Amino acid sequence: MQIRLRPFPTFGMLVFLVLVLDFIVEKPICVASQPNVILIVCDDLNDYVEGYGGHPQTQTPNMRRLASTGVSFKQAHCNIPICGPSRASLFTGIYPHHSGCYGFFKWDGYEVLKNSRTMMDHFRANGYQTLGTGKLMHHMVRKEWKSFGNPADYGPFAFDGENKLAHPDVPKPYSEIGAVDGSFGPLVNLDGRKSVEGKPLSWRTGSWAKQRTLEVDSQDDRGLTADELNGQWAVDQLSQLADKPGRHPFFMGVGFIRPHTPLIVPKRFFDMFPIDKLQLPMIRPGDVDDTFSHTVRGIPEGADGPRSEDMGTRLFNTLVDSYASQEEALKHFIQAYLASVASVDEQVGRILDAVDQSSLKDNTIIILTSDHGWGMGEKNYLYKNSLWQESTRIPLIIRAPGVTESGGLSDQPVSLIDIYPTLLDLCGLPTDTQKNERGHRLDGHSLKPLLTDPTNGQWNGPNSALTALYKWRIKYQPSQESYSLRSRDFRYIRYENGSEELYDTNIDPHEWNNLAGSQLHSEPLRILRQELLARVPGPEVKTPEQPPFQPKTQSGKVASGKPKSASVPSKKALPRESAEVWKSNYFLRNPQADENRDGKLTWPEYKAYREKFDPAPAGK
């Protein structure tokens, strides 16, 4: 059969051919039989999920419902336990030691990452509709998605008309940590509540660029939180997609902010966990004494002066100092964390209902996970960014209709790096995700064999899940960073200074006893040392090209040319108490200013850092 085209003017013919070629090359035709994908990413969610054994009182019936129709990975771990670089690794499928992305420079400034396709970009290039909402990647690049709903929103924050503050129920000194990490409590009406300066309080929320008032007249009459807005957005989109016959398959990302701090959610979720009935995690007194994390976060081991106090230790000590006892302190924080997890679970349920009650049910893959975990006081640590189980372990639940075994459980150690290749395998998409030779191939392995047979499926990946540690640096050297390996039987940690920890997780699941110095465990220690050396580049390997260091202004924006900052109040211009609070907030934003790494920022250290990296304008 001969196809005849009507003649076009020369220019029109060229435009037509360009559009056709672009469609053929960049957007292969997908068919509706290819599965849809919904990737749900929670923030700071540890194992406080039903079925994961993290807390006996957690209430996540919808996550449990998802697990009952899919496979749960009981030893899934992040690749770096802090938000920005973890998400960069998840969505590009590339380890930090191959990309150089261990920190918070914009992910698309790294040479390797900007020349590799993100998960959503690769799906879009292969004919999928791509749509997302909420917190998915730090430094979200909108062009990576065909459509995007709501930007990341960490609120709500208490607001006095000028500054964001901690929840008014949080006692000092914990509340002085700030409106993000120093804040937790129920979302209630603030009429009549005032700041310590006597200013009336209200709720503020929104992206960093655009804030709005969150009205809370009562529990039944209030504005929607960020997670509720993202849940509603996802449900609305799914309703529209289900009604489109013959449509292309879609890839949807949904990023929920909780249980990231501030742990502020509607009061009804707090009511689910009465303080007087709350159980605490198992914490061994003195558990931190045989660990070595502190030796790489501050002053060297054996040096004169106090042990350095990093963020997790600082949060723990300050929280305990704010209440009558450690038990009371942890109960209040854990109540807020459990309430936040329950609030997210409700939104997960809405998404499951939208899928299961529509034509999407039998052809939509759903993945639920988190960027990393969170310590709850174990080893005197209340934060992420450690190489211990509480920070690295994350929930990972995958439902793939026609593939996954319902209610399946796998104890094979895997990590977030494996999600990208798994989805390509399930969806039948090309595995080459490099834009050019300056990019990097996918580092992970498909979990599909474990989805079909969680117990005996053939795993082609490594024996252990690999996790790196974030530390503020201008330049990262992969061979000189800190790492952890989690195998079926052991956790091995090697810090940048050579200090080691080894835990027999079969008999010591809480990682209480460091066996690195035990002669009885010299053989597993040797094997894990060799595995780490084989997986992480040595000093002879060229360091990945990383974004140039650019000091930030006081407003947080990168300076251009000679670094300058916005005008800031001088120490003399502020009352003593206000000056100390201001300096503490500056320290939170610029931990590297602590020159001697003792966990405290002195005024001389502040001055020296400002003069070197963040100078005030002339005349200030």
Contacts of 425 (CB under 8 A, 6+ apart): 446, 448
Q: Are 234 and 209 part of one and the same domain?
A: no
- Residue 609 has a pLDDT of 72
- Residue 309 has a pLDDT of 56
Rounded Cα distance between 83 and 119, Å, is 17
Bridge pairing between strands 364-370 and 36-42:
parallel
Q: Are 356 and 458 part of one and the same domain?
A: yes
Q: How many CB atoms are located within 10 Å of the residue 313 CB?
A: 23
pLDDT digits (tens, 9 = 90+) for 44-56: 999 999 999 999 9
Got the DSSP string for 43-57? SS--S-STTS-S-TT
Lowest mean pLDDT among 206-220, 222-236, 277-291, 420-434: 206-220
Whichever domain contains 335, its CATH number is 3.40.720.10
**Is the residue at 1 inside a domain?**
no
Rounded Cα distance between 514 and 528, Å, is 15
Residue 522 has pLDDT above 80, yes or no: yes
- Residue 300 has a pLDDT of 37
- Residue 267 has a pLDDT of 97
Bridge pairing between strands 129-134 and 250-256:
parallel
Helix, strand, coil in percent for the chain, rounding step 5: 35, 15, 50
Q: Are 234 and 124 part of one and the same domain?
A: yes
- Residue 606 has a pLDDT of 77
Last residue of some domain: 476, 511, 535?
535
Q: Match 């597993």 to its residue by tokens.
A: 524
Mean pLDDT of the chain: 87
Residue 20 has pLDDT above 90, yes or no: no
Rounded Cα distance between 486 and 499, Å, is 17
pLDDT digits (tens, 9 = 90+) for 105-132: 999 999 999 999 999 999 999 999 999 9
- Residue 97 has a pLDDT of 98
- Residue 612 has a pLDDT of 63
Mean pLDDT of 592-619: 65
Element (H, E) at 484: strand 483-486
- Residue 595 has a pLDDT of 72
Q: Match 């094979």 to its residue by tokens.
A: 412
- Residue 243 has a pLDDT of 82
Query: Where do runs of H (alpha helix) occur along 412-477?
Result: 419-427, 448-452
Nearest-CA neighbor of 531 among 488, 471, 497?
Answer: 488
At 615 the three-state DSSP class reads: coil
Q: pLDDT-derived band of residue 187, with 50, 70 and 90 as boundaries?
A: very high
Nearest-CA neighbor of 355 among 260, 235, 265?
Answer: 235
Q: Are 146 and 91 part of one and the same domain?
A: yes
Q: What angle do CA 519, 524, 529 make, to 5 degrees?
A: 105
Residue 348 has pLDDT above 50, yes or no: yes
**Is the residue at 64 inside a domain?**
yes
Asked if 473 and 124 touch (Cβ cutoff 8 Å), the reply is no
Nearest-CA neighbor of 69 among 462, 488, 365?
Answer: 365
Rounded Cα distance between 307 and 597, Å, is 9
**Is the residue at 324 inside a domain?**
yes
**Is the residue at 451 inside a domain?**
yes
Domains contained in the chain, number: 3
- Residue 244 has a pLDDT of 82
Rounded Cα distance between 391 and 45, Å, is 9
Rounded Cα distance between 146 and 13, Å, is 27
Q: Are 464 and 333 part of one and the same domain?
A: yes
Q: How many CB atoms are located within 10 Å of the residue 357 CB?
A: 12
Lowest mean pLDDT among 165-174, 185-194, 318-327, 596-605: 596-605
* Residue 176 DSSP symbol: G
Rounded Cα distance between 86 and 370, Å, is 10
Residue 373 has pLDDT above 70, yes or no: yes
Last residue of some domain: 535, 552, 586?
535
- Residue 602 has a pLDDT of 80
Element (H, E) at 211: strand 211-213
Residue 511's region, left for phi above 0, alpha for psi from -120 to 50, else beta, is: left
Rounded Cα distance between 153 and 164, Å, is 14
For residue 259, say if its preceding peptide bond is cis, omega within 30 degrees of 0: yes
Q: Are 374 and 286 part of one and the same domain?
A: yes
**Is the residue at 554 inside a domain?**
no
Strand partners, 265: 186
**Is the residue at 351 inside a domain?**
yes
Q: Are 161 and 64 part of one and the same domain?
A: no
Q: Which domain holds residue 251?
A: 24-155+225-535
pLDDT digits (tens, 9 = 90+) for 457-504: 999 999 999 999 999 888 899 999 999 999 999 999 999 999 999 999
Q: Are 509 and 602 part of one and the same domain?
A: no
Residue 353 corresponds to which tokens in the numbers above? 């209902």
Mean pLDDT of 264-293: 96
Q: How many CB atoms are located within 10 Å of the residue 244 CB?
A: 12
Residue 325 has pLDDT above 50, yes or no: yes
Side chain identity at residue 198, one-letter code:
G
Rounded Cα distance between 267 and 185, Å, is 8
Asked if 281 and 389 touch (Cβ cutoff 8 Å), the reply is no
Q: Are 161 and 151 part of one and the same domain?
A: no
Last residue of some domain: 508, 535, 562?
535
Q: pLDDT-derived band of residue 588, with 50, 70 and 90 as boundaries?
A: low
Residue 24 has pLDDT above 90, yes or no: no
- Residue 604 has a pLDDT of 77
Share of the chain above pLDDT 70, in %: 84
pLDDT digits (tens, 9 = 90+) for 563-585: 333 334 444 444 444 466 566 66
- Residue 33 has a pLDDT of 77
Rounded Cα distance between 597 and 296, Å, is 10
Share of the chain above pLDDT 90, in %: 76
**Is the residue at 251 inside a domain?**
yes
Residue 189 has pLDDT above 60, yes or no: yes
Q: Are 171 and 261 part of one and the same domain?
A: no
Q: pLDDT-derived band of residue 598, with 50, 70 and 90 as boundaries?
A: low
Rounded Cα distance between 232 and 567, Å, is 41
- Residue 577 has a pLDDT of 41
Rounded Cα distance between 137 and 132, Å, is 11
Residue 332 has pLDDT above 70, yes or no: yes
Q: pLDDT-derived band of residue 148, with 50, 70 and 90 as boundaries?
A: very high
pLDDT digits (tens, 9 = 90+) for 55-80: 999 999 999 999 999 999 999 999 99
Q: Match 């990945």 to its residue by tokens.
A: 544
Q: pTM (2 decimals)?
A: 0.85
Rounded Cα distance between 392 and 486, Å, is 9
**Is the residue at 471 inside a domain?**
yes
Q: Are 520 and 583 part of one and the same domain?
A: no
Residue 306 has pLDDT above 60, yes or no: no
Q: Are 136 and 162 part of one and the same domain?
A: no
